Structure 1
Amino acid sequence: MEKAYTDWIEYLKQKIKSAQLKASIAVNEELLRLYWDIGKSIVEKQEAFAWGSKIVEQMAKDLKRELPDTHGFSRTNLFAMRKFYSFYKHQDMVQPTNEQIKNTDIRENIQLVHQAGGQLPADSILCKIPWRHHVAIMSKCSTLTEAIFYIQHTIHNNWSRNVLEIQLESNLIERQGKAQNNFELTLPKPQSNLAQETLKDPYKFDFLTLETNVQELDLERNLTENITQFLLELGKGFAFVGRQYPLQVGNKERRLDLLFYHIKMHCYVVIDIKMGEFEPEHAGKMNYYLSAIDNLLKTEKENPSIGIILCKSKDSLDVEYTLQDMNKPMGISEFTFSELPKTIRQNMPTVEELENELSRL
């Protein structure tokens, strides 16, 4: 009886959670359709009666007086509703398929349908994310292409508003899939598309505050100490395996800067960090690492390992020539990080000064 009862409670718990989730989704859809209708009404009234922006301020005051216990109709929010309708009014979007979301360039795979009367349909992708997400997107995106990119990624990755704002601030749309690589030549089509989309240029490590003369080992250590933010910047699907990961090749031990496993691509990802400018020999070293990983760690069921070389700077033509005949899949990206403010750096003791102080103890 005890197990039967426990199983029953677990079943009820899942049913309740499922019902709560469905209810919250339904509430969100109705709220967004209401905000759409209010925004549409504001636009139409302003056009019909040549009313200016002050009418929105008056609306906010009157609605607050008429509905004192109802929230969400402030001047700022009403202007946001107007923008919500104006921004999307000629493009009523329906929910995309999973394949469209996963496509390398999802901006070219948007299904658009015309809805009579300018109503927001329940199956629109606009109804699939919360209102505050929309406010964040509208505040940063100037085109429909940008907005759709972030809406679809929010749906696919289940981003919270905080994560969405980080992606907006870091200008993800301009960085994703932009790194130079040879994936199309070295990987089968489905994996090459996903690998291409996964890679960014540049990577932004603005969650770190480092000195300008930071060394590679220092950067590795700081990245792994801030692994949550690092994984967020790398993107969905990366699982951390190790830092300075040892590989026994013959009688010699080689160490990889950073080793990850990508769950969706089913492959190992080696990251090599270079604090200076990219040099062709860096790719030769990465080629060696990937051969070793494929022989020592990769199983028959897994895809070829991928290399990512992160460097402080690179010459595009240099990278192009380097990758041209390279037979292992790799990409080369720049990275940026927050440097210590000049005033702080000037007041920080040098290594020599610290050593002198320590020698006196």
Structure 2
Amino acid sequence: MSNLNITPEYKDWLVRLKSKIRSAQIKAAMAVNSAVIDFYCDLGRMICEKDAVWGSRFLESLSKDLRKEFPDIQGFSVTNLKYCRLFHKYVAISPQLGDETDILAKDGIYQHIRQIPWGHIKLLIGKVKDRQEALFYIQETIENGWSRDVLALQIKSNLYSRQGHAITNFKTTLPEPQSDLAQQTIKDPYSFDFLTLTSPYNERDIEKQLITHITKFLLELGKGFAFVGRQYHLVVGESDYYLDLLFYHIKLKCYVVVELKNTKFIPEYAGKLNFYLSAVDSLLKSESDNQTIGILLCRDKNKIETEFALRDINKPMGVSEFTLTENLPEDLKGSLPTIEEIEADLDKLTQ
């Protein structure tokens, strides 16, 4: 204890902290996630208040004393105490206002973040600085029940910037709110980094790999997609047609036709997909189903050309690019930064 600046005050403060832990029955509350998160945030605040007073060895002393007093409670390691301090900074910093204010409470994020596990929160602290982006991942985690590994994968693939950004004609072909839901359902680009393909390869090779990795493919497509079939056979007139991939979307209550093109988008692709959607609406769609939606996945597209191609199409469809492992940007390959690096980034926001 001699390494602290004010030993008597520290001892008095430690007694009050122990009393706080007992009164809140933290040992029992550890089973309730929101109580754990609230406690960690409060503990982080208390640590921040005393950091400058008791010096650099403060956390080591605090960790030792708390673990001695509460040996059955996890979460009092030096590393976790540092994360508690980071968590308080994370929820208190407002880059927009340039001061410390509970921005997460003000925009409603805190009530969401306390619903996800502590391990998920530590991941967000290390990887996501923007508040709206953080809220997006928090809400997606709650809605989809993502594990920490899945959350890490979605952050790594930059889902936030891809969700809902496909070029579509949903506004003119679907009623609200289905058009908005459909728009948010489609990403651009789709990341198929789980595929293992050797050049040269074509659409069929990609299809086979996607079905081989169907669980990861469905995860990339998003919640609500149910796989119906690959090269799904339809007969129109006296001719045979085969849909690359056919899904049914539970929330949208409609069939979804996915066509793969291992080339740049050309307008003719939209016309062919429009034909397939008409066929599915006539041959598969029931009265309780909504209009069939098409997703055209290609390697590249020109925004203006794509918008022109969809302008007078009467069936709802969207055009997105897809990337394979070879196209993953380098900044998606990094590991979690150190706690010191995270703190340095957060401190910059208050300057």
**Bucket of the pairwise TM-score, normalised by the shorter protein:** 0.7 to 0.9
1:82 paired to 2:85: yes
Q: Per the alignment, do residues 93 and 125 of structure 1 end up closer, same or farther by CA in structure 2, a change over 3 Å counting?
A: farther
Q: Per the alignment, do residues 262 and 139 of structure 1 end up closer, same or farther by CA in structure 2, a change over 3 Å counting?
A: same
Residue 256 (structure 1) shift: 0.3
Give the corresponding residue for 1:152: 139
AA at the equivalent of 1:27: V
Q: Is 2:120–2:148's contact at 8 Å kept on the other side of the alignment?
A: yes
AA at the equivalent of 2:45: K
Tell me the distance in 2 between the aligned counterparts of 1:33 and 1:26.
13
AA at the equivalent of 1:269: V
Task: Name the SS of the counterpart of 1:245 in structure 2.
Answer: strand
1:71 paired to 2:74: yes
Structure with greater contact order relative to length (CA < 8 Å, sep ≥ 6) = 2
Tell me the distance in 2 between the aligned counterparts of 1:220 and 1:212.
15
Give the corresponding residue for 1:41: 46
Select the residue among 242, 247, 264 that pairs with 1:277.
Answer: 264
Give the corresponding residue for 2:316: 329
Select the residue among 36, 49, 57 that pairs with 1:31.
Answer: 36
Residue 156 (structure 1) shift: 1.3
1:245 paired to 2:203: no
Task: Name the SS of the counterpart of 1:154 in structure 2.
Answer: helix
Tell me the distance in 1 between the aligned counterparts of 2:181 and 2:57.
49
Give the corresponding residue for 2:103: 91
Give the corresponding residue for 2:184: 197
Tell me the distance in 1 between the aligned counterparts of 2:112 and 2:240.
51
Tell me the distance in 2 between the aligned counterparts of 1:151 and 1:212.
38
Q: Per the alignment, do residues 259 and 24 of structure 1 end up closer, same or farther by CA in structure 2, a change over 3 Å counting?
A: farther
Task: Name the SS of the counterpart of 2:230 in structure 1.
Answer: strand
1:131 paired to 2:118: yes
Tell me the distance in 1 between the aligned counterparts of 2:55 and 2:167.
49
Q: Is 2:182–2:252's contact at 8 Å kept on the other side of the alignment?
A: yes
Q: Is 2:256–2:292's contact at 8 Å kept on the other side of the alignment?
A: yes
Task: Name the SS of the counterpart of 1:241 in structure 2.
Answer: strand
Residue 233 (structure 1) shift: 0.2
Q: Is 1:212–1:339's contact at 8 Å kept on the other side of the alignment?
A: no
Tell me the distance in 1 between the aligned counterparts of 2:288 and 2:56.
62
Give the corresponding residue for 2:332: none
> Identity over the aligned pairs, expressed in percent?
52
Residue 91 (structure 1) shift: 2.7
Task: Name the SS of the counterpart of 2:119 in structure 1.
Answer: helix
Q: Is 2:144–2:223's contact at 8 Å kept on the other side of the alignment?
A: yes
Q: Deviations over 1:23-60 (max 9, x none)?
A: 9896212211111111000111125x2x5554334433
Task: Name the SS of the counterpart of 2:256 in structure 1.
Answer: strand
TM-score after normalising by structure 1: 0.76
Q: Deviations over 1:271-326 (max 9, x none)?
A: 00000101100000000000111111111221110000000111111111111111
Residue 330 (structure 1) shift: 0.6
Q: In the comparison of the two structures, how many residue pairs are matched?
A: 291
Task: Name the SS of the counterpart of 1:247 in structure 2.
Answer: strand
Task: Name the SS of the counterpart of 1:208 in structure 2.
Answer: coil
Q: Per the alignment, do residues 212 and 33 of structure 1 end up closer, same or farther by CA in structure 2, a change over 3 Å counting?
A: same
TM-score after normalising by structure 2: 0.78
Tell me the distance in 1 between the aligned counterparts of 2:270 and 2:57.
61
